[in-house]
Amino acid sequence: MFHLKGKVAVVTGAARGIGRSISLALSQAGATIALIDLSADSLQGVHDEITAQGGQASMHACDITDPDMVAATFKDITEQHNALHILVNNAGITRDNLLMRLSQEDWEAPIRTNLTGAFNCTRAAVRPMMKQRYGRIINIASVVGMMGNAGQANYAASKAGLIGLTKSTAKEFGSRAITANALAPGFITTDMTAELPESTVQKLTENIPLGRMGKPEDVAPAVVFLASEDAGYITGQILPIDGGMVM
């Protein structure tokens, strides 16, 4: 198990799904977690789970698409915890539709949240990270950003963009001891994938060598590793966590 004692981690979209699982795992490894989501109410559950297991967490209502709100929230977090070592850009949305039927708003919404939101948070986090000469940025991309997906041109473009952002961040901040890596989960059972019809799930599963959908708990341990000091010589990498779907 990798240790994160004394480290402060920000997790966006922490209220549920993969973000909740990542927050719990980082806390179990010893980090203090600044939980971000659209509403503070939605964060109460994960906050209580962390404190019940003896961890420390703070809650921050913030829309990551709003650059001013992001700047103010990260300032609060840094002042409250006196540091910021780890950023997990996890918050994400889908607006699925076939390309010809995508409205302008449905094209732009996932890009605004999944890509611009991650940029806003990264820009706000790198200054305190540079001061500390320690930073771990972990972006939650998707296998769809690597292989595309019919009906998800907007989402795939946002996640492919996030991969480009990851590699550029890695190059720009490597000399400051800040690493940036991305995880590319496959199909993970959360609210985001709950709507998929059983027949689609069955078809998807046929193309997964490990023969099942993933769980949020399959993603979280890789975040803990990449956030640790032990992963200090890994940067600019994209790690699929997909049961072998993409290889």
Does residue 118 come out as left (phi exceeding 0), alpha (psi in the -120 to 50 range) or beta?
alpha
Active-site pick, 155, 218, 219, 245: 155
187: contact with ligand NDP by CB under 6 A? yes
d(CA 227, CA 204): 30
**Residue number with CB closer to ligand NDP (4 or 162):** 162
> E strand or H helix at 172, and its extent?
helix 153-173
Using CB under 6 A, which of 121, 188, 231, 245 touches ligand NDP? 188
Closest listed residue to residue 227, CA positions, set 190, 183, 186: 183
Kindly identify the residues of this chain, within the stretch 204-223, that bind ligand NDP according to CB under 6 A: none
Size of the chain, expressed as the number of residues it contains: 247
154: contact with ligand NDP by CB under 6 A? no
**Residue number with CB closer to ligand NDP (67 or 236):** 67
The strand pair at 8-12 and 86-89 is best described as parallel
For residue 155, indicate whether it is catalytic. Answer: yes
142: contact with ligand NDP by CB under 6 A? yes
Q: Which stretch binds ligand NDP (CB under 6 A): 14-22, 45-53, 171-179, 221-229?
A: 14-22
> E strand or H helix at 181, and its extent?
strand 178-185
Note the residues at the interface with ligand NDP (CB under 6 A): 12-13, 15-19, 36-39, 42, 63-65, 90-93, 113-114, 117, 140, 142, 185, 187-188, 190-193
